[in-house]
Amino acid sequence: MLELVLGGARSGKSRYAQDCAIDNKQPVLLIATATADDEEMQQRIKLHQQTRPSDIVVIEEPLQLSNTLQAHYNTEKTIIVDCLTLWLSNLLLQDETDLENSFEYKALIDNLELLSQAKANIYLVSNEVGMGIIPLGKLNRIYCDAVGHLHQAIAKHAQRVTLMVAGLAHSIKNESMG
């Protein structure tokens, strides 16, 4: 099962994915994409660590997400990727100004069909950034466009899409496994 979990900052996305993962009663693997580049981000990461059960295995992978998912998608685990928008930011900071043509972006898009048929339950957590005005600045528009296109591609393959608002889960798509 592949589920895309979307929402704004502090909407409850990570908590929702973690709760779902625990409810699956399988070993949980968290692929964390954040990098602690400043004090505020260090505090955010610390908060996530403090509220996470100790038996969740964590792999920190800020760039090579597709390879990491490929190494684990065919196991009887639950995988959480938290989060796709930080991963895209990391790619952008690596001078990947053509995000949608970058190797890593394409690799993830190319593997969505496999991920949707995986043995593992996979929760892809991401910020919904496209609900506001068109951002000023070319780099901001490139980023928002890449995020929006990635979300559309994932939603097409995912069995479930959930939008988090104020800690409440709203089902956008829910297909039974068949």
CATH number at residue 83: 3.40.50.300
Number of structural domains in the chain: 1
Tell whether 146 is covered by a domain. yes
Instruction: Report the 3 state secondary structure along the chain.
Output: CEEEEEECCCCCHHHHHHHHHHHCCCCEEEEECCCCCCHHHHHHHHHHHHHCCCCCEEEECCCCHHHHHHHHCCCCCEEEEECHHHHHHHHHHCCCCCHHHCHHHHHHHHCHHHHHCCCCEEEEEEECCCCCCCCCCHHHHHHHHHHHHHHHHHHHHCCEEEEEECCEEEEEEECCCC
Give tens-digit pLDDT for 97-138: 688 999 999 999 999 999 999 999 999 999 999 887 888 888
| 14 vs 36, residue with greater confidence | 14
Catalytic residue among 48, 72, 149, 157: 48
- Predicted structure pTM score: 0.93
Give tens-digit pLDDT for 138-174: 889 999 999 999 999 999 999 999 999 999 999 999 9
Tell whether 82 is covered by a domain. yes
Tell whether 177 is covered by a domain. no
Give tens-digit pLDDT for 17-74: 999 999 999 999 999 998 888 898 889 888 888 888 889 999 999 999 999 999 999 9
Confidence category of residue 178, pLDDT binned at 50, 70, 90: very low
Tell whether 63 is covered by a domain. yes
Tell whether 163 is covered by a domain. yes
Tell whether 178 is covered by a domain. no
Domain range enclosing 117: 2-172
| 48 assigned to active site | yes
